[in-house]
Amino acid sequence: MNPCVQCGACCATFRVSFYWAESDPFLGGTVPEALTEKVNASCVAMKGTNQPQPRCVALVGNIGEDIRCEIYEQRSTTCREFEPGSVACLKARVKHGLSADLIPVVAA
């Protein structure tokens, strides 16, 4: 089983920013534009993640329990490239009181 479906810590720890065109349907973007906010001239972020206590608006459920991304198939490259078991992943898990032992560390 994918450990991410019972985690979600990364979605409630980091700003999820990416190139604005990923949310522009006219340019082939798939991320729903209504769920993003402008960060600067070249980047947008998922709403809810550009604040001191981030939580992506597409995240549904409770961290560390049954959780899901409402736009999983449409998620940004930032989300697609996030590595389960990476140092950032483990830091997010610890921040939310989850065990770092559940996910093996990805080799660098």
Structural contact between residues 16 and 8, judged by C-beta atoms closer than 8 angstroms: no
Half-sphere exposure of 108 (CA within 13 A, CB side): 2
Quickly tell me which residue has 């559940």 as its tokens.
102
Token pair of 47, please? 């709403």
Give the model confidence (pLDDT) of 36-94 as tens digits.
999 999 999 999 999 999 999 999 999 988 899 999 999 999 999 999 989 999 999 99
Domain ranges of the chain: 3-95
The whole-model pTM stands at: 0.87
Rounded to the nearest angstrom, the gap between the alpha carbon of residue 14 and the centroid of all alpha carbons in its chain is: 7
Q: What is the DSSP letter of 56?
A: -
pLDDT tens column, 24-35: 999 999 999 999
